[in-house]
Amino acid sequence: MTGARRGPGRPPRAEAAEGPDARTRILEAARAEFAERGYDKTSVRGIAKAAGVDPALVHHYFGTKDEVFAAAIEVSFEPELIVPAVLGESTEGIGERLARYFLSVWENPATRAPLLAVIRSALTHEAAAKVLRGFVLRRVLERVAADLDVPDPKFRAELAASHMIGIAILRYVVRVEPLASATPDEIVATVAPTLQRYLTEA
Amino acid sequence: MTGARRGPGRPPRAEAAEGPDARTRILEAARAEFAERGYDKTSVRGIAKAAGVDPALVHHYFGTKDEVFAAAIEVSFEPELIVPAVLGESTEGIGERLARYFLSVWENPATRAPLLAVIRSALTHEAAAKVLRGFVLRRVLERVAADLDVPDPKFRAELAASHMIGIAILRYVVRVEPLASATPDEIVATVAPTLQRYLTEA
């Protein structure tokens, strides 16, 4: 991509540090740092070090620590891809699609760790709660709510989200039985009608 | 109560430290310490100091730190009183009673703080999660499940609990709108049918 700007003698390291991949590496490092250390102990400097870039580059791409945090969450959720896929072409089956998608994200350890870090951080640091409230929930839930034909769609979308978050906490963190050992299918079968009602029934 | 054992010249301080009130004071101190400092930073020594008793008395009444933690949670929930009241004489209206009770506990700042401390602790310390799993959820949810006439009653009780925990997190901690500003009645009206279905329908 930027190869055309580079003379034949320039070391490839310059591109690795500044090229299009640096942004991705910063995000991956941020996810890992937030997941491992929590919101409070993660710093832009630490993220930059883990990504092998200058802290100024982190600021250049993302701004403040809060904005890196929001971007690291969004890259886990991928709302741009997921929201349309879950909403689908009609609201028929939306409860089941939402429950399945949510469980699939949590069943995968690679995506579970950063999500858990987000919830932990939001519960222990007001700054992280504010990021979750402002950047993420608003962006994701407003997109979902915009497509719903129910009274008070944001309220309904939040109730659906609350259920899935609570299930995640009891199943993956507290690990109560039998919820922790239930199959995703068993959970979906019981929960999907609830989400369907919240998102579609007046 | 123990006055009969005491000679007329004994100082009342001895009773204050060892009498029936000491147990209550230890529990109150434990609630406050866990709520304020979190699970990790709370010690039996610190609880004893806040209650004005010897640490040995804390061990005498409750055992380990985990057992004090469990007792401090139970005194917030009062499952002995609440479970029968929520279950009532029939399952009719059980969803609404459960939603109303749960919200009333969270709406009250005095009971909200220790509950929040429990959830925070469980999310950040495996030892606290184990206490929540073993002592509390098992004791409360098993009592509820024992009275239910549905397939897999514990699974159903856990799904109901998960929804209420998720609502508490989004409403009182993350404070997403409009859920944070909704009235308890608005939440109960939408959520009660879900709980009713989980706890009563095959």
A37-61 residue pLDDT tens: 878 889 999 999 999 999 999 999 9
Nearest to B119 among A123, A129, A133 (CB): A123
Give the pLDDT confidence of A21-39 residue by residue, as tens digits: 889 899 989 988 887 887 8
pLDDT for the residue A185: 96
- Residue A143: name the closest of A67, A73, A62, A85 by CA: A85
The verdict on domain A78-200 having CATH code 1.10.357.10 is yes
Chain A: give the shortest CA distance to residue B43, in Å.
20
The verdict on domain A9-71 having CATH code 2.60.120.10 is no
The verdict on domain B9-63 having CATH code 3.40.50.10580 is no
| Long-range Cβ contacts of A38-41 (<8 Å, 24+ apart) | A38/A117, A38/A120, A38/A121, A38/A124, A39/A69, A39/A117, A39/A120, A39/A121, A39/A124, A39/A125, A39/A127, A39/A128, A40/A121, A40/A124, A40/A125
pLDDT for the residue B19: 55
Percent of chain A residues past pLDDT 90, beyond the cut? 37
pLDDT for the residue B123: 80
pLDDT for the residue A81: 75
Chain A: give the shortest CA distance to residue B20, in Å.
34
A197 touches chain B (CB under 8 A): yes
Domain boundaries, chain B: 9-63, 78-200
Contacts A170 to B, Cβ<8 Å: 137, 158, 161-162, 165
Q: Do domains B9-63 and B78-200 have the same CATH topology?
A: no
- Residue B28: name the closest of B2, B11, B53 by CA: B53
pLDDT for the residue A126: 82
The mean pLDDT of A165-178, rounded to a whole number, is 91
Contacts B129 to A, Cβ<8 Å: 173-175
The structure tokens listed for A21 are 């991949």
Between positions 89 and 128 of A, the ones with CB within 8 A of B are 116, 119-120, 122-124
pLDDT tens digit at each of 202 positions of chain B: 444 444 444 444 444 445 558 998 999 899 888 878 878 889 999 999 999 999 999 999 999 988 898 888 777 667 777 778 777 778 889 999 999 988 988 898 877 877 787 788 888 788 888 888 877 777 778 888 888 889 899 999 999 999 999 999 999 988 899 999 999 999 999 999 999 999 999 8
Q: Residue A124 pLDDT more than 60? A: yes
B199 touches chain A (CB under 8 A): no
Q: A98, A106, A118, A123: best mutation site toward chain B, by most B Cβ within 10 Å?
A: A123
* ipTM of the complex model: 0.79
A35 touches chain B (CB under 8 A): no
| Record: contact B158-A176, CB cut-off 8 A | yes
**What integer best gives the mean pLDDT of chain A?**
83
pLDDT for the residue B7: 42
A179 touches chain B (CB under 8 A): yes
- Residue A44: name the closest of A53, A35, A14, A36 by CA: A53
User: Using CA atoms, how far apart are residues B99 and A159, in angstroms rounded to an integer?
Assistant: 13
DSSP conformational letter for A6 = S
pLDDT for the residue A117: 79
| Radius of gyration of chain A from its Cα atoms, rounded to whole angstroms | 19
pLDDT for the residue B43: 93
pLDDT for the residue A18: 53
Q: A159, A172, A186, A201: best mutation site toward chain B, by most B Cβ within 10 Å?
A: A159
Contacts B174 to A, Cβ<8 Å: 122, 129, 132-133, 137
Q: CB burial class (10 A; 0-12, 13-18, 19+) of residue B51?
A: buried
pLDDT for the residue B10: 42
A8 touches chain B (CB under 8 A): no
B50 touches chain A (CB under 8 A): no
User: Using CA atoms, how far apart are residues B197 and B189, in angstroms rounded to an integer?
Assistant: 14
Nearest to B155 among A156, A179, A198 (CB): A179
